[in-house]
Amino acid sequence: MEWLESFWATYSTLVLSVGTNVLLALSIYLTLACGLLTVANAAFMGIGAYTAGLLTVHAHMPFFFALLCGSLLPASIALLIGRPTLQLSGVYLAMATLAFGEVVRILILNAEDTTGGALGLNGIPQLTGWFEVALAVFLALYVLLALARSRIGRTMKAICQDETATELMGLNVRAYKLFVFVLGGALAGLAGALNAHFTFFISPNEYGFERAVEILAMGVLGGTGSPWGAVIGGVLITLLPELLRGLGHYRPLINGVVLILIILYSPRGIWDLLRPARSVRGPAAN
Amino acid sequence: MLTLSSLSKNFGGLQVLQDVSLTIPERGIFGLIGPNGAGKTTVFNLVTGLLAPSAGIIEFYGERLNGMPPHRVTRRGIARTFQNIRIFKEMTLIENVSVPLGSRPRYGALSVLLPTRRYREAERLETELARTLLAKVGLADRAERLAGTLSYGEQRRLEIARALATEPKLLMLDEPAAGMNSSEKQQLMEEIVKLDESGLSVLIIEHDMSFIMGLCREITVLNFGSVIARGAPDEIRASSAVIEAYLGRGESPELSDG
């Protein structure tokens, strides 16, 4: 077992990052699967990270309670901003959620007294272990797979393809959109809360535009046909930079190139490539 | 059961509908015809809540539908199809027809997470119901195919099956025969007659006159957003206002006939 210990000593942060990134990918999967282009998840992650971090650092609250608040607060904020913003669609929705992300980042940056501002929040206890992350990923994946199989997943697919037609089938499309947005906010917040408790230090800029795009890339790369697509995307986007370590500062560039290639050659993500059985069923799908 | 009273719709300065009144009683097949741009689809969009009327009242079984969101209008018992087919192409036929069934779940949201026997039973019943509806429009043998692989006429029939899954009292069909060949049209006519016999009211927009004349008990004719004629097929055929709307005013009797 010695090799395991040394492996963990070297790679524990990476393994835990894979887990939290899978959570983030699952959070964006929820909205993407409904055809909603939202990029607020980085901000939800930040709210979750700061909420949980402040609770353990300053208020000395139990870790579990901090995690709970770290996902409930972003979910409540998602509920609040979801009602007006989800009436938008396409690029406008993306712009509105992007603006929300900037508002959150700047708020954290300027609330120096509580958040530490640009200097970040230091000395967060390292409470996140493999067990918490594994449990969170397992539960999230279980719930999302169950949803995807059920009438709720079927409705999400329908909304993605034709919102108006779905509404005229007697389904409250707005309620469904709000539901996935809020659940996505909770998951992203949980990912942030877990992440903060193994990185020791967080700062507002970790939850800005770059992170938002990274989360989006995980969702698009993996594909939105199934929660498994998000898992693939989350794992790949986390491991790719490690595999390309030699490229140094060019790593984000490679991320971009990989994303462009996937969008060009398999617009529905890697999951769709791995599962060709579906299109074989009917002859000559156009 | 459906009553439109003095319904008007403007898009900015453009008056699409002016003072349209229309009554659809329970049971029966009714037609809504008129030249392109007469406002027929706008009537459908107003009734189903996709558009809000500029003036006038829409009532269904005495309840006002003005301002009601589309999903609630559907739940009251009004279903429709679209002129430009709007099926879910990347879902199977069974899934397509099952989507509306999700608005009347037979199980709670929690059982989605912990599938009980009752949940599985309810799911099985849904699939069975979806199959029955597909059989009604003659698509049972294609149930597992992706909807996008169907022919044009089949897609229109799938759309009808999906509309029926909402358990409507009034079914509104927007050009159901468009793009169909004559044998498909014949088959569709028979299916619509069966729907009427099962107790539904059907309101059809259609350009194919033999289709409309052969099916409908009463026809309303729209032109430039106003009702210009209403009556039985024979009366419509003989109406000078209708002939003028479709063919234009002739200089001489021979011309207006041709």
Please return the burial class of B13, using the count of CB atoms within 10 Å of its CB with bins 0-12, 13-18 and 19+: exposed
What's residue B253's pLDDT? 52
Question: Cα distance from A150 to chain B (closest Cα, Å)?
Answer: 6
Give mean pLDDT, residues B231-247.
88
Q: Based on C-alpha coordinates, what's the Rg of chain A?
A: 19
Give mean pLDDT, residues B222-243.
91
| Inter-CA distances, B214 with A127, A147, B18, Å | 76, 47, 28
Number of domains in chain A: 1
> Is the confidence metric ipTM above 0.85 for this complex?
yes
Report phi then psi at B72, rounded to 5.
-80, -35
Residue A200 is which amino acid?
F
pTM of the full predicted structure?
0.91
Query: Best interface-test mutation with B: which of A166, A168, A271, A281 has the largest number of B CBs within 10 A?
Result: A168
The answer as to whether A237 is a domain residue is: no
What's residue A243's pLDDT? 81
All structural domains of chain B, each given as residue ranges with its CATH number in brackets, are: 1-77+168-258 (3.40.50.300), 89-166 (no CATH)
Nearest CA in chain B to A159: B88
The answer as to whether A155 is a domain residue is: yes
**Nearest Cβ partner of B88 from A146, A161, A284?**
A161
The answer as to whether A117 is a domain residue is: yes
Residue A34: domain span: 13-205
Nearest CA in chain A to B146: A282
The answer as to whether A268 is a domain residue is: no
Q: Residues of chain A whose pLDDT is less than 50?
A: 278-286
pLDDT digit string (tens) for B151-197?
988 999 999 999 999 999 999 999 999 888 899 899 999 999 999 99
**Nearest Cβ partner of B148 from A165, A172, A286?**
A286
The answer as to whether A281 is a domain residue is: no
The answer as to whether A22 is a domain residue is: yes
Record: contact A171-B48, CB cut-off 8 A? no
pLDDT digit string (tens) for A211-229?
998 999 899 889 888 999 9
Instruction: Say how many C-beta atoms besides its own lie within 10 A of residue A83's C-beta.
Output: 13
pLDDT digit string (tens) for A154-185?
999 999 999 999 999 999 999 999 999 999 99
